[in-house]
């Protein structure tokens, strides 16, 4: 287990860069050993990678969360002297945090990489430390090509925190790049896709609705305002909007679920059967196709909230409905990535394009104007589960892909 160290200086003193791995499986073993569940700090992993990059002669930039307990890492292998200096390069992006293992029935220690047969098991094996391991393994060769003047396009590595709890880290990286005048030409997010090319994904917005009613004895319901009843009216309206979304004529058949979705996820309210409830809360999420926006559903829901508020407050002025957004991750669009898609298709030998319902940091990159695709080792089917694994052939395929990608950055 890796000791959680908050003192950056003492952390640096404990690292020995010469001991860093030289191949992807060893790197993956090392990365899995860092317990980077989102509720914990990721600094031990970040400083370990920083030491490795600095050993290679690279300058590392860190951006921290407000509490300074977590950090993003951004490092650039600069292009050689003969490169076009206008070229701002290609980003390899990955998140360092993983989901919890609480309550899961693992057959091996989650934070100790274990090989059984042709699979490597461990939390983060596919989501998504496998890609990070392959990228770190490639770095020394990229540095050699840079030093010899052969690297014609800068190569960037971006490692973020808190992707699993709302993609909170990547916006800090993007803001820092904007402030420094760095606009990468392309980005590849290494989420698990079995090395297939994903060109777009849906966005996610999560909302909490809190309905404040007025308590009364159930035998005197006219003196109260039933929070559950009014919440149910709004839930019914959300369901009606969901049906309308599924029937639109601008849906996208490349998605498994080809339309934007609305879904109520939780609901809580009431204290006893004989009390008119004064509070009810529910949550719902909206997963929008890339060409749609949050306003497409937020505007009509806000109008419905205003209608219900008027009805409630006519009976009791202190009642009403609050609508709060808890999470927002933009969709990843394929509108400006045709050139990148052609490059990836040539490198992988697979021209098929995929679109997915889950969200990644890719949407934040495309939102910043950076053409992006998703391509990484492992299957999303294994992510977040007990006995998470990546097939070792997937790591080999990712190594091969990144080698071809690096070769493309040296071609004249």
What pLDDT, on a 0 to 100 scale, did the predictor assign at position 2?
Answer: 29
What pLDDT, on a 0 to 100 scale, did the predictor assign at position 84?
Answer: 57
* 404 phi/psi in degrees, rounded to 5: -65, -40
Per-residue pLDDT tens digits for 81-113:
766 555 689 999 999 999 999 999 999 999 999
Q: At what angle do helices 295-315 and 227-246 cross, to 10 degrees?
A: 160
Residue 4 has pLDDT above 80, yes or no: no
**Band (412; pLDDT cuts 50, 70, 90):** low
Closest CA to 190 of 267, 59, 96, 261: 96
Return the CATH fold of 203-329: Alpha-Beta Plaits (3.30.70)
CB 403, CB 138: distance < 8 Å: yes
**Span(s) in the chain for CATH 3.30.70.360:** 203-329
Q: In what order do the strands lie in the sheet with 197-201?
A: 60-64, 71-77, 155-160, 90-95, 186-189, 372-374, 197-201, 353-356
Task: State the catalytic residues.
Answer: 97, 163
Cα(65)–Cα(43) distance, integer angstroms = 11
Query: What is the assigned CATH class of domain 8-201+331-408?
Result: alpha beta
Per-residue pLDDT tens digits for 187-213:
999 999 999 999 999 999 999 999 999
Cα(117)–Cα(337) distance, integer angstroms = 38
**Span(s) in the chain for CATH 3.40.630.10:** 8-201+331-408
Peptide bond between residue 232 and the one before it cis (omega within 30 degrees of 0):
no
Which token pair is 97? Answer: 């945090």
Global pTM value? 0.89
Which token pair is 311? Answer: 């009805």
Q: To which H or E segment does residue 409 belong? A: none
What pLDDT, on a 0 to 100 scale, did the predictor assign at position 85?
Answer: 52
Q: What is the CA radius of gyration of the chain?
A: 24
Per-residue pLDDT tens digits for 231-287:
999 999 999 999 999 999 999 999 999 999 999 999 999 999 999 999 999 999 999
Which token pair is 161? Answer: 């925190």
Closest CA to 327 of 87, 166, 94: 166
Per-residue pLDDT tens digits for 299-313:
999 999 999 999 999
């Amino acid at each position: 287990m890796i000791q959680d160290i908050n003192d950056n200086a003492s952390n640096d003193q404990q690292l020995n860069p010469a001991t860093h791995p030289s191949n992807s499986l060893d790197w993956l073993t090392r990365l899995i050993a860092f317990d980077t569940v989102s509720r914990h700090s990721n600094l031990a992993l970040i400083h370990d990678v920083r030491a490795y990059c600095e050993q290679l002669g690279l300058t590392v930039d860190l951006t921290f969360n407000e509490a300074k307990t977590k950090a993003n890492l951004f490092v650039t292998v600069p292009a050689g002297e003969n490169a076009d200096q206008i070229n701002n390069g290609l980003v390899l992006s990955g998140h360092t945090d993983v989901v919890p293992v609480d309550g899961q029935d693992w057959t091996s220690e989650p934070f100790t990489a274990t090989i059984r047969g042709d699979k490597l098991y461990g939390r983060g094996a596919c989501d998504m430390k496998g890609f990070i391991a392959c990228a770190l393994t490639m770095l020394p060769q990229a540095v050699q090509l840079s030093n010899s003047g052969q690297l014609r396009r800068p190569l960037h590595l971006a490692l973020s925190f808190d992707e699993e709890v709302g993609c909170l880290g990547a916006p800090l990286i993007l803001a820092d790049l904007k402030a420094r005048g760095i606009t990468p030409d392309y980005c590849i997010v290494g989420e698990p896709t079995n090395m297939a090319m994903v060109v777009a994904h849906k966005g996610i917005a999560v909302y909490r609705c809190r309905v404040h009613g007025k308590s009364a004895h159930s035998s005197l319901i006219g003196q109260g305002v039933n929070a559950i009843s009014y919440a149910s009216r709004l839930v019914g309206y959300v369901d009606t909007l969901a049906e309308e979304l599924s029937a639109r004529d601008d849906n996208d058949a490349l998605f498994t679920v080809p339309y934007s979705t609305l879904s109520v996820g939780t609901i809580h309210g009431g204290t006893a059967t004989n009390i008119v409830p004064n509070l009810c809360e529910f949550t719902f999420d909206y997963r929008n196709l890339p060409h749609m926006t949050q306003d497409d559903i937020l505007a009509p829901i806000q109008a419905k909230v205003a209608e219900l508020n008027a009805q409630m407050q006519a009976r009791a002025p202190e009642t009403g409905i609050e609508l709060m957004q808890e999470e927002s991750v933009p969709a990843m669009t394929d509108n400006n990535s045709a050139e990148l898609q052609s490059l990836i298709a040539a490198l992988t030998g697979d021209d098929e394009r995929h679109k997915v319902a889950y969200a990644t940091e890719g949407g934040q990159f495309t939102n910043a104007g950076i053409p992006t695709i998703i391509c990484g080792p492992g299957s999303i089917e294994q992510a977040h589960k007990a006995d998470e694994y990546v097939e070792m052939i997937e790591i080999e395929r990712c190594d091969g892909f990144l080698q071809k990608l690096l070769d493309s950055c040296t071609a004249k």
